[in-house]
Each structure stands twice: as C-alpha cells, then as structure tokens.
Amino acid sequence: MANAALSRATLPAEPCTALRTPNALPATTSPNEINMEFRVSYEHSLASAPDEFIANVASQVVTDIPANVPRALLPEFIASLIVERSPSIGKIRNLRILSGVPSLQ
C-alpha cells in the first residue's frame, strides 16, 4: 500500500526508449538547421474555378519544411506551402504524404 500514495508525478524520471528510432536525429541538433523533404500526392483546382478539381498530382516533392512542424499539422502546412508557391492553384484536397526525409543543410 506504500506505493498507492505515489503518483506518476512523484516517480523519478526515466529515459524513454520506446520512441527511439534508428533514423532519429540527435536531440542536440537545432530545428533551424534541419529541413524536411516530403513526397506528396493530391488533387487541386485552379484559382479561377476553386470548386472544380481538375488535376491529380501523382507525386511531387515539397522541400524546405521545418523539422519542428508537428506531424498532425503536416498536411495542412504542406497544402498551404503548395498554394503559396503556386498562385494558380485554388484548393487542394486528398493530400497524402507518401514519404519524408530530413535534408541537412
């Protein structure tokens, strides 16, 4: 019963080994030095007709994505980058991340 009074907050810190991957970058590396490249696929419309999806992009590499963007926000972030870099694109739908690799500069 002595352990029943202990909460998770009072236990000593332990290193997390479950999240380590062989391709993980060292924790000392600054996020400003690391950019990611992602290969994506999506459908898009033109800015002149945003509700008519006319193009299906099977594969495109999007570069210069900061490594500190949370994984849950990546599709939204990548879609906004594509629209920003290509002003003729209206809307993007069905964006899929096919792969991603870090690119050290």
For residue range 8-67, what is the model confidence (pLDDT) as tens digits? 555 555 554 444 444 444 444 454 568 899 999 999 999 999 889 899 999 999 998 988
Say which residue the tokens 């994984």 belong to: 71
Is the Cβ–Cβ distance between 61 and 37 less than 8 Å? yes
Look at residue 103 in the predicted model and tell me its pLDDT: 74
Look at residue 45 in the predicted model and tell me its pLDDT: 93
List pLDDT tens digits, range 70-104: 999 999 999 999 999 998 999 999 999 998 888 75
Look at residue 90 in the predicted model and tell me its pLDDT: 92
Look at residue 102 in the predicted model and tell me its pLDDT: 81
